[in-house]
């Protein structure tokens, strides 16, 4: 009895060791390619929100971690890149979260110039209803482009809302909650940049991957 059991245990262990070995090899082989893909993906997104800017390593390294649950929507730190043109700070690219989506968080990336004008924004991930709320994706609708060039001032705070709430941004037929959440998140990201002029001088502190 005990012999059969130990023999089986050994066999199971051997199979497990073999599987782990195979997985380690595959992991080793694919790891560089996977991090390359992640980087390419990140750079493609940065290129979309910073039109006409050459995305390089310098931009990726000039990055600080910022936390502001009220304005950026997450209790944990989010990344913010600083784009400098001729050594002059030209834009912040900040990750923001809209916590009030129709089904959970909507993760955004927003490029904002130091005066608080939005240069571009994109949705990184969301679980909104396909066909209704997913018009916030740039490949489904140009709606997300309507933020470009807008800035937040004391006078126009009212206009940062969907039309139904008296603002300047279209809502979608059948989906008001999603665009409302995105509009609020983008506005809050701009407010965050405006309220923190010290962001420009912080030392880069993002963990390197």
Partner 1 sequence: MSQLKELTLQGLWKNNPGLVQLLGLCPLLAVTSTITNALGLGLATLLVLLGSNVAVSLVRNHIANEIRIPVFVLIIASLVTVVQLMMNAYTFGLYESLGIFIPLIVTNCAIIGRAEAFASKNAVLPSALDAIMMGLGFLLVLLILGGMREILGQGTLFDGADLLFGSWAKGLRIELFTVDSHFLLAMLPPGAFIGMGLLIALKNVIDNRIKQQNAIEKGSIARARVTGAAQ
Give the footprint of partner 1 on this chain (CB under 8 A): 4, 7-8, 11-12, 15-16, 19, 22-23, 26-27, 30, 33-34, 37-38, 40-41, 129-132, 173-174
Beta carbon of residue 137, minimum distance to partner 1 (angstroms, whole number):
11
Contact 49, 93 (CB under 8 A): yes
Instruction: Please state the closest distance from residue 126 (CB atom) to partner 1, in A.
Output: 12
CA gap 65, 80 in Å, rounded: 6
DSSP summary character for residue 139: T
Distance of alpha carbon 123 from alpha carbon 138, whole angstroms: 8
Minimum distance of partner 1 from residue 189's CB (angstroms): 23
CB of 100 to partner 1, least distance (A): 21
Nearest CB to partner 1, comparing residues 26 and 157: 26
Contact 112, 190 (CB under 8 A): yes
Nearest to 110 by CA among 188, 168, 172: 188
Q: Quick one: 21 or 157, whose CB is closer to partner 1?
A: 21
Minimum distance of partner 1 from residue 34's CB (angstroms): 5
Which CB atom, from 17 or from 157, has the smaller least distance to partner 1?
17
- Burial class of 151 by CB neighbour count within 10 A (0 to 12, 13 to 18, 19+): middle
Decide whether 44 or 202 has the Cβ nearer to partner 1.
Answer: 44
Helix (H) / strand (E) containing 5: helix 2-49
36 vs 69 by CB, closer to partner 1: 36
């Amino acid at each position: 009895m005990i012999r059969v059991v130990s023999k089986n245990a050994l066999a199971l262990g051997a199979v497990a060791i073999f599987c782990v070995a195979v997985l380690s090899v595959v992991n080793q082989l694919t790891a560089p390619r996977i991090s390359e893909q992640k980087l390419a993906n990140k750079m493609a997104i940065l290129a979309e929100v910073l039109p006409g800017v050459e995305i390089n390593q310098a931009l990726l390294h000039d990055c600080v971690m910022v936390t502001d649950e009220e304005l950026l929507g997450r209790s944990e730190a989010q990344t913010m890149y600083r784009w400098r043109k001729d050594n002059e700070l030209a834009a912040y690219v900040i990750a923001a979260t809209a916590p009030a989506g129709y089904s959970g968080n909507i993760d955004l990336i927003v490029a904002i110039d130091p005066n608080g004008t939005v240069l571009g924004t994109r949705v990184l991930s969301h679980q909104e209803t396909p066909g209704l709320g997913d018009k916030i994706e740039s490949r489904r609708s140009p709606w997300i482009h309507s933020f470009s060039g807008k800035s937040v001032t004391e006078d126009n705070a009212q206009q940062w809302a969907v039309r139904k709430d008296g603002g300047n941004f279209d809502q979608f037929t059948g989906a008001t909650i999603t665009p409302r959440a995105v509009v609020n998140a983008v506005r809050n990201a701009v407010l965050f940049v405006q309220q923190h002029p010290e962001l420009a001088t912080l030392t880069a502190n993002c963990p390197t991957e």
